[in-house]
Amino acid sequence: MTERLYYDDAYLWEFEGKVTSIKNGTRPGEWVITLDRSAFYPTSGGQPYDTGTLTFGKVTAKVTDVEVDADGEVVHTVDKEIPVGTAVRGKIDGARRTDHMEQHGGEHMLAGAIWEKLEGTTIGLHLGQAESTIDVSLPEGRTHLTEEEILMLENTVNERIRMDAPIRCWFPDEDELKRLPLRKAPTVTEHVRIVAMGDFEMVACGGTHPSSTGRIGLIKILSAIPAKGKVRVAFVCGGRAVSLFQTYMRYADKAGAALSCPVDKLSSAASDLKYRLSEAEKRANRLETKEILASMMEAGNTEDLPGVTLCVLTMPETDGRAVTAAVSEYISAKGRALLLCAGERLTFARSADVKIDMNDLIKRVARGGGRPDMASGAGIPECVSVARKILMTEGISK
């Protein structure tokens, strides 16, 4: 079995090893190898695998995946064939490993704080490329966290990060394991590895972790939403949290400059702008409605259908709300019928006292439908001309 060097030193970026087996990978140009000793972490417990290189002679092979096979052996996917017995020098992508350790370490502290403060049990970790998530089972089936609880958890964890408490990882014997105050029971029964952070977190875990809480940097909770009867908490730690803060500040500063207000006034300024924009849209909509209605009144005539004022009108595509309001107002008076094409939108409508089945009429000239008094669909200006000819030829029901 491969000696897992990361158990003893999570900051071991380079190591020496020897290839103990090799076979073809699942894709052309890939091989799967095992080593007698390796510092590469395999995907496990929600923490993704390490990447890096294996160098032998003048050849460098990329390590593109690392996992544990069915026999419990660490296997490395590489892009070069490396014969069995070859001595290699491994090099871990330290930036990727450091990021994973920051997120994983922060997850431990967050899960511990949730257990201590809210009696919530954490189930699983998903460490994504942009953010990480944990699912939490809360007492009484609660599926949300309040803003106050989120802030309390953030403050608790960040305070403990600043303490720079030591993080210890070890394999206790059976007697010691029974005495340890673990946050939750281990999921394995053999070779149980324990991670302790200061005096506030202790749990079984086989992953890689920083040497102290201070190296986690900081934590920021992004959201806490219901998920399958639990609370899914999304967060970022360390370098990811710093990058997020920088991004937020950059855009907040730009928004503040655009609204001529300091960052802490952005919320009220945005609310005020939204209100003023809504009022402006309402005024513009009312004016547009009046313009459309005036066009309908001007186009209406009684020559085509005696006793009925028929409006046949085409116009460019315009605000749908304004069109709807104008149509409703136009047919509110007696004796009116309307054949309208606005852009590619048809609206056929008539007053309550006019006996024209607009639903039937629009289906005869285009794709659409609706009620006998008002129907809509998709079409072109020629559709209203055809509908007008049908009405002139067939007349209206008495």
Instruction: Give the CATH number for residue 353.
Output: 3.10.310.40
Residues 87, 218 share a domain: no
* 219 & 174 share domain: yes
Is there a domain that residue 32 lies in? yes
Token output for 231 = 């609370």
Same domain assignment for residues 46 and 73: yes
Whether 288 and 221 share a structural domain: no
340 in the same domain as 307: yes
- Distance CA(2)–CA(226), nearest Å, equals 41
Residues 8 and 36 in one domain: yes
Helix (H) or strand (E) holding 74: strand 74-78
Domain-ending residue, one of 70, 92, 114:
92
* Structural domain total, the chain: 3
Quote the CA–CA distance of 104 and 346 in Å, as a whole number.
58
Residues 166 and 28 occupy one common structural domain:
no
pTM: 0.75
Provide the token pair at 207.
């992953």
255 within domain boundaries: no
Q: Is residue 278 part of a domain?
A: no
Q: Are 325 and 341 in contact (CB under 8 A)?
A: no
Please check whether residue 258 lies inside any domain of the structure: no
User: How distant, in Å, are the alpha carbons of 133, 135, 138, 219 from that of 143?
Assistant: 15, 10, 7, 22
**Cβ(21)–Cβ(222) below 8 Å:** no
Which amino acid, one-letter code, is at 253?
A: D
Q: 235 and 140: one domain?
A: yes
Going residue by residue through the chain (398 aa), what tens digit of pLDDT does each one get? 899 999 999 999 999 999 999 999 889 999 999 999 999 999 998 899 999 999 999 999 999 999 999 888 999 999 999 999 999 999 999 999 999 999 999 999 999 999 999 999 998 889 998 999 999 999 999 999 999 999 999 999 999 999 999 999 999 999 999 999 999 999 888 889 999 999 999 999 999 999 999 999 999 999 999 999 999 999 999 999 999 999 999 999 999 999 899 988 999 999 999 999 999 999 999 999 999 999 999 988 887 788 899 999 999 988 899 999 999 999 999 999 999 999 999 999 999 999 999 999 999 999 999 999 999 999 999 999 999 999 988 876 54
> Is 298 among the domain residues?
yes
Residues 215 and 160 in one domain: yes
Q: Which residue has the tokens 């510092």?
A: 39
Q: Residue 123 sits in a domain of what CATH number?
A: 3.30.980.10
Q: Which of 55, 71, 92 is the last residue of a domain?
A: 92
- Are 103 and 86 in a shared domain? no
Q: Please indicate, yes or no, whether residues 64 and 134 belong to a single structural domain of this protein.
A: no
Cα–Cα distance between 287 and 268 in angstroms, integer? 29
SS3 string, 361-377, reads: HHHHHCEEEECCCEEEE
The enclosing domain of 12 has a CATH number of: 2.40.30.130
- CA dist 88 and 81 (Å) reads 12
Tokens read off for 163: 């303490």
Residue 239 counted as domain residue: yes
Answer yes or no: is 125 within a domain: yes
User: Does 331 share its domain with 307?
Assistant: yes
How far apart are alpha carbons 166 and 36 in whole angstroms?
A: 30
The count of other CB atoms within 10 Å of the CB of residue 122 is: 22
* Separation between Cα atoms, residue 200 and residue 109, nearest integer Å: 8
Q: Is residue 178 part of a domain?
A: yes
The single-letter code of the amino acid at 323 is V
pLDDT the model gives residue 397:
58
CA distances from 202 to 177, 179, 196 (A): 11, 12, 4
- Supply the DSSP string of 159-204, one letter for each residue: HHHHTT-BEEEE---HHHHHHS--SS--S-SSS--EEEETTTEEEE
CB of 4 within 8 A of CB of 75?
Answer: no
Identify the domain boundary among 217, 246, 275. 246
Domain that includes residue 77, residue range = 3-92
